[in-house]
Amino acid sequence: MVERLLMGTIVGFVIVFFFIGLLLVQEQPPVAGPISFEPMALSEAEQALLLQLARSQLERLLDGEPSIKVDLTEFSETLRREASCFVSLFEDDALRGCMIDDFQPHEPLVQNVLRNAVLAATGDERFPPVEAGELERVRIEISVLEPLQAASFDSADELLAKFSPGVDGVVLATSTGQSAFLPWVWQRFPDPEQFLAQLCEKQGAEADCWRTTPLPKVDIFRVTDFSEANH
C-alpha cells in the first residue's frame, strides 16, 4: 500500500514548512531562559505519504469503509517514531476541523495521523461532520509537534515577552480549562494580548483570564507543518 501511495499522487500538494514550537512533558520544570526546539526531520516523500494516507483515511470514512490498517514494517523509522500531531482541514481557506488526541506522544506518527484525520472530520465540536461531497474541496494540513516546553514567568507582562508570534503555538491552562492555538493563528491575532484573550475565550473563560491570579500555566510548542495544495 505504501508503494502505491508513494508512486501515486505525490504531486498535488504544497509543502508549507514551519518550525513551530511545542511543549515539554508536564513533569519537567518551566524553562526560565530562551526555549530551544528541534523540528522532526521528515523528508518530502514522508510528508507526501502522510498527507495521502490522511486523505485515503477520510475517503474510506466517508464511504463507510473500515479505517486503514497499517503494517508498521512498511514505514520508515521516522514515521514509526512515537509523535503527536494536529490534523487540520480547510475549505476555501476557512478552517473546517482541527484535532489532536493527545499532546503527549503515545503511538507511531503514521497511526496518529490516521487517528486525528478522523477526529478532525468528525470530532471538532465547532463544526458539523465533514460530508462526502465536501472532501474534494478540503485541504489537509498536518502539524507534527515537538516536545512541549513550559514557559516560566512571574507576571502577566513577563508572559507577553515569552512568545515568538507567527512561530510559537501556545497551550493555556487555567482553572476554567485548557485551550491551544497552532502558530498559524497568529495570522488572525498578531498581538500577544489579543492572542491570549482569544485562548481564554476559547476555553469559556473571561478574556483577561491570562492576567488573573493565580497565573495560568503556559506551554509553548513548535511544529513541522506541511499541507496539500488547495482543493
Task: Going residue by residue through the chain, which has 231 residues, state the pLDDT in tens, using 9 for 90 and above.
Answer: 544 444 443 334 333 333 333 333 334 444 444 444 566 789 999 999 999 999 999 999 999 999 999 999 999 999 999 999 999 999 988 999 999 999 999 999 999 999 999 999 999 999 999 999 999 999 999 999 998 999 999 999 999 999 999 999 999 999 999 999 999 999 999 999 999 999 999 999 999 999 999 999 999 999 999 999 866
Query: What range defines the domain where residue 63 resides?
Result: 2-20+34-146+223-228
Residues 88 and 56 in one domain: yes
pLDDT at 17: 33
What CA–CA distance (Å, rounded) separates 111 from 192?
A: 34
User: Residues 40, 87: one domain?
Assistant: yes
Instruction: Give the pLDDT of residue 32.
Output: 43
Work out how many domains the chain is built from and give that number: 2
- Examine the domain organization and report whether 141 and 199 are in the same domain: no
Please give the pLDDT value at position 40.
75
Does 42 share its domain with 109? Answer: yes
Residues 135 and 161 in one domain: no
